Amino acid sequence: MIRASAPQTIDVDGDQAVARAHHVGLALFALALGGFAIGTAEFVTMGLLPQIADGVDISIPKAGHVVSAYALGVVVGAPLIATLAARAPRKAQLIWLMIAFALANIGSALAASYGTLLITRFLSGLPHGAYFGIGSVVAASMVAPHRRTWAVSMMLAGLTVANVIGVPLSTVLGQRFGWEYPYVFVGVISLACVAAVLAWVPRQAADENASAAKELKALTRPQVWLALGIGTVGFGGMFATFSYIAPTMTNLAGFAESTVPLILVVYGVGMTIGAIVAGRVSQFGLMRGILGSLVLIATLLAVFGFMAHHPVTAVIAVFLLGFLPTILVPMLQTRLMDVAQEGQSLAAALNHSTLNMANALGAWLGSIVLDRGLGYEWPSRIGALLALGGILITIVSATLGRRDAAAHA
């Protein structure tokens, strides 16, 4: 077992330095493995909506509520677990969160009815945000201060890799053998993460100064709520579109169902490149970067329905759908951390709540327009309106920030 230590304060050289780097690398891999499982579970549902609909005898729009159920689980679980478990040892939290995640996903595979599937997907979402929030803190604690951002990005890399490898492979698995099998696959990966965390992640002592009251104090700050609003409304447009990406590509672009996994790879590549360039975009100013990203997202969603009618432009649109919103995510995370002040753990978890509130909102609004008989062009158009709402909230937040800064000056 690796003993808890502060790598940035212990002088090492030669073999000791190499060993420590090796241990940190293994620990980050263990944490990223959990991110891979979570990312696969979250997004594979969207690629298998037709199969899920057939499997539990519901319509595709109604199957979109399964996406919303998972997202609502994240929204509830992230702040609840982050506050109630504020003083618990972090390594133990990670282990129990992934055990719960594994069991809930295996339960999803065993669901025989629509109602049962909704419940198990909700339960699957509960550990999501807390795992990423706690995992980010653990990753940062294992390296020197100047490498903290790198460590957190490596931990979150599992989520990106999931969209390049895990989601497409799971989609193929679900198409060939049944929609239940990807959830079994996620359960197995989650249990592998538990074993890896036990073996490689250092012990994390409980923070005696932490408390639920301190974490919840962040929620008394108006700018925290505005940042949450930006993510919920502005990011909802992407999910209104991506939640129905499989039927959109087959019905509008004319792709065969077997091509959907490759289209999801394109989306994952867009996400990966977006994550790489996000830091550079933020250098132009955090709020400028958020506003600019939302403007581009709104523009893309406004024309997505037209682009989806041709195979070439449809693939380009899917790439951009992964690329542009992913640039926005770390900037929203940083904004929440900045305005939350003493509630850092809660803020880290709330960022994932925000994105999944957007997930639930987007999937629900998309199902409404589809239920009313409008075509698959329309979820993205509703998404464009959501992005415009995010732009307005961003402008309000920036204006209030400048006013407060002037008042303090």
So what's the pLDDT on residue 9?
39
CATH code of the domain containing 144? 1.20.1250.20
pLDDT of residue 393: 94
Phi-psi region of 111 (alpha: psi -120 to 50; beta: other; left: phi over 0): beta
Query: Are residue 184 and residue 250 in the same domain, yes or no?
Result: no
**220 with 350, same domain?**
yes
What pLDDT digit, counting tens, does each position of 153-199 carry?
Answer: 777 778 888 888 898 899 889 989 999 999 999 999 999 999 999 99
Do 33 and 177 lie in a common domain?
Answer: yes
202 shares a domain with 216: no
Nearest to 269 by CA among 369, 165, 359, 180: 165
In the block, residue with structure tokens 């629509």: 114
Domain end position, chosen among 208, 228, 263: 208
* Whether 107 and 82 share a structural domain: yes
Q: What is the model's pLDDT at position 75?
A: 82
pLDDT at 221: 81
282 with 404, same domain: the answer is yes
Task: Please tell me the total count of domains within the chain.
Answer: 2
Q: Is residue 371 domain-shared with residue 403, that is, in the same domain?
A: yes
Range with the poorest average pLDDT among 10-19, 175-184, 206-215, 218-227: 10-19
**Residue 45 Ramachandran class (φ > 0 left, ψ -120 to 50 alpha, else beta):** alpha
Last residue of a domain, one of 208, 228, 260: 208
pLDDT tens by residue, 90-134: 899 999 999 999 999 999 999 989 999 999 999 999 999 889 888
Shared-domain flag, residues 249 and 176 = no
Can you give the pLDDT at residue 282? 74
pLDDT confidence of residue 405: 76
Residues 45 and 182 in one domain: yes
Residue ending a domain, choose from 208, 241, 275: 208
Residues 6+ apart with CB under 8 A from 242: 43, 46, 267, 321, 362
Domain shared by 75 and 21, yes or no:
yes
d(CA 282, CA 18) in angstroms, rounded, equals 33
Q: Which residues contact 181 (CB under 8 A, 6 or more apart)?
A: 109, 173, 174
Same domain, 120 and 168: yes
Structural domain boundaries enclosing 150: 1-208
Smallest CA-to-CA distance from 393 within 237, 232, 225, 226 is with 226
Tell me, yes or no, whether 333 and 379 share the same domain: yes
